[in-house]
Amino acid sequence: MSQRNALPKFCIALGLPDVGQLLAHARREAEAGERFLEFRLDYLSKPGDGVRAIAQFLEEYPDATLLATCRRHQNGGRFNGSIEEEIRILSACLDAGAKAVDVEIESAEHVSAKLEGLRSRAWLIVSYHNFSGTPAMEPVLRRMQKVTADAYKIVTTARKPSDNHRVLALGKAHPKVNLILLAMGETGFATRVLSPAFGGVYTYAAPSAVEGTASGQVSAKMLRNMFRVEKVTKSAKIYGVIADPVRHSISPTVHNRAFQARRLDAVYLPFLVKPIQLKDFFALAEKLPLSGFSVTIPHKQKVLRYLDAVDPLAKRIGAVNTVWKKAGRWRGTNTDAEGVTVPLGKKIRLSKSSVLLVGNGGAARGAAFALAEAGAKLTVTGRNIDRVRALAKICGGEPMTREQAVARGFDAVVHATPLGMHPHTNECFFDGVIPAEVVFDMVYNPFETQLLQRAKDQGKEVIPGFQMFMEQAVRQFEIWTGETAPRAAMERAALEALESPGTSGTSANGATNGK
């Protein structure tokens, strides 16, 4: 490769059906400050027209770096022409000013001799895509290196959490080879953030106003501002949240803002982990390695079997929402307990009060033990009376049907079910009068649930789930870092995420007691 400038860290992938739309979105990205764009010519109804688009765009933005791709449909693209036509179009793109071209390995293997003509003029990227899974990576790289190129792009599909490490590890194993390494899909999201820190030349991002060209892409703004991809170093501590679903979590927004406020070399990622994938996730956690993580639906109870030490209250609750590594051992606790007792304790004297707890799942169980330990007189209700009785028995509470509960009066109601959570915001456990003067809803998205609206209309005092979320998140940060949490910064970040859908994790919808 002749001497040429290094490529920027973010490539905005643009795949549009006509030149007008392609140029419009490219201009929008350029006006936002983005300078490295991929033009997917195979998305155009007439791919050859992309050459004119490149020339026109570079007249307007001569400092931009354009990557031209015209992937054939046999190789996961949309171009129906021959390999020779593909190479001719890419060569014309270089004539028009493109600084890089991407040729899929299946095409490159057939015309390797002709590729030197492209490579002598620009970055030649040879790419491999696997849309079904993540195979052993070393054989893939060996195959690709038989074709001389400036960089090798290997993109797989993540089916399980450990696929993230399988992809990223290739970068650490070959530090002198220019690699672009990514795993598609929500499960592979971590690779989009961590790839540059693991030696990747750059990472891909979706445009701000239209869908990207691959599953799992998010905007450059999110990668740059929330995850601070350009500032994540090889020695950065990695944290995250495990859940299914996870895209609704606002925790990445909140904890990454906290790390930024305290100037810590750390990043917090959303990890999609299916119920049957917990063991595989711990394999990823060991290898990356992770320093700690939040746990939410549906893993709070099952995660205990993978921990080396669990604090007494979390053990009694039978659920953990916070995990960290210390002295080589995975440790767990439940900060949800403080998330319940601290906000409620500001409204009532728990040891002298009666509390009606609604729910019987993991969140309710945590609240039940926390309230019982604080001395509250506890009553439990819910839709599944058998599970209600089981929870009441183990925490020393009184079980009641909904009908029995609404006929009584309590000092406070603590709602710990997903009813009313986005997107099912019209649901509410109580149809009529809420039988308490203080109403605490553990759902935090929307900020004001149907339950809280009804409570206000009935003249009750309300505690939004946001307060619980903040208490447990603050405690998590302090456990992980040993520093005082920047509460004000975390609250601002959480409110921004709740008010602006699409700005947190890979979306911004909350979950009961979610992370």
Do 71 and 174 have their domain in common?
yes
Do 226 and 244 have their domain in common?
no
pLDDT at residue 2, rounded to an integer:
41
Task: Catalogue the E-assigned strands of 220-326.
Answer: 237-243, 266-272, 290-295, 309-310, 322-326
Cis omega (within 30 of 0) on the bond before 399? Answer: no
By three-state DSSP, how is residue 460 classified? coil
**Residue 483 DSSP class:** S
Q: Is residue 271 part of a domain?
A: yes
Cis omega (within 30 of 0) on the bond before 289? Answer: yes
State the average pLDDT for the chain.
93
Report the CATH number that the domain containing residue 451 is assigned in CATH.
3.40.50.720
Q: Is residue 438 part of a domain?
A: yes
**Which range marks the domain in which residue 311 is found?**
239-335+482-499
Do 183 and 253 have their domain in common?
no
Q: How many domains does the chain have?
A: 3
Do 412 and 342 have their domain in common?
yes
pLDDT at residue 429, rounded to an integer:
96
| Residue where one domain finishes, among candidates 231, 264, 292 | 231
Do 198 and 88 have their domain in common?
yes
Do 76 and 190 have their domain in common?
yes
Nearest to 86 by CA among 103, 98, 100: 103
Q: Rounded mean pLDDT of 237-246?
A: 96
Report the CATH number that the domain containing residue 220 is assigned in CATH.
3.20.20.70
Among residues of the chain, what percentage have pLDDT more than 90? 87
For the stretch 268-301, pLDDT in tens is: 999 999 999 999 999 999 999 999 999 998 999 9
Report the CATH number that the domain containing residue 261 is assigned in CATH.
3.40.50.10860
300 is catalytic: yes
For the stretch 248-271, pLDDT in tens is: 899 999 999 999 999 999 999 999
- How far is residue 508's CA from residue 214's CA, in Å, rounded to a whole number? 20
What is the rounded (10 degree) CA torsion for 274, 275, 279, 281? 30
Least confident of 110-119, 174-183, 360-369, 371-380: 360-369
Least confident of 22-26, 294-298, 505-509: 505-509
Q: Is residue 129 part of a domain?
A: yes
pLDDT at residue 4, rounded to an integer:
66
- Three-state secondary structure of 80-114: CCCHHHHHHHHHHHHHCCCCEEEEEHHHHCCCHHH
For the stretch 293-338, pLDDT in tens is: 999 989 999 999 999 999 998 998 898 999 999 999 999 999 988 9
- How far is residue 80's CA from residue 72's CA, in Å, rounded to a whole number? 6
For the stretch 389-418, pLDDT in tens is: 999 999 999 999 999 999 999 999 999 999
Do 212 and 201 have their domain in common?
yes
pLDDT at residue 5, rounded to an integer:
80
Nearest to 137 by CA among 110, 106, 172, 88: 172
* pLDDT tier for residue 474 given thresholds of 50, 70 and 90: very high
Do 319 and 275 have their domain in common?
yes
- How far is residue 146's CA from residue 40's CA, in Å, rounded to a whole number? 25
CB of 460 closer than 8 Å to CB of 436: yes
- How far is residue 502's CA from residue 108's CA, in Å, rounded to a whole number? 38
Do 175 and 266 have their domain in common?
no
Q: Is residue 476 part of a domain?
A: no
**Residue 46 DSSP class:** S
Per DSSP, the residues of 390-444 read: HHHHHHT-EE--HHHHHTS-EEEEEE-SSTT-TT-TT--S-SS--SEEEEEE---
Whether the predicted pLDDT of 512 surpasses 60:
no
Q: Is residue 477 part of a domain?
A: no
- How far is residue 59's CA from residue 495's CA, in Å, rounded to a whole number? 42
**Residue 225 DSSP class:** I
Please count the other Cβ atoms lying within 10 Å of the Cβ belonging to residue 482. Answer: 7
**Identified catalytic residue from 99, 160, 300, 377:** 300
Whether the predicted pLDDT of 507 surpasses 50:
no
pLDDT at residue 213, rounded to an integer:
81
Q: Is residue 222 part of a domain?
A: yes
pLDDT at residue 266, rounded to an integer:
98
Least confident of 51-60, 352-361, 505-514: 505-514
**Encoded amino acid at 127, one letter:** S
HSE value, Cβ hemisphere, 13 Å, CA-based, for 265:
7
Do 353 and 327 have their domain in common?
no
> Which residues make Cβ contacts (< 8 Å) with residue 364, sequence separation at least 6?
357, 358, 380, 382, 391, 416, 417
Whether the predicted pLDDT of 29 surpasses 90:
yes
Whether the predicted pLDDT of 1 surpasses 50:
no
Whether the predicted pLDDT of 143 surpasses 60:
yes
Q: Is residue 327 part of a domain?
A: yes
For the stretch 207-228, pLDDT in tens is: 988 877 887 888 999 999 999 9
Do 201 and 294 have their domain in common?
no
Tell me the whole-structure pTM to 2 decimals: 0.91
Do 82 and 175 have their domain in common?
yes
- How far is residue 381's CA from residue 391's CA, in Å, rounded to a whole number? 10
Q: Is residue 429 part of a domain?
A: yes
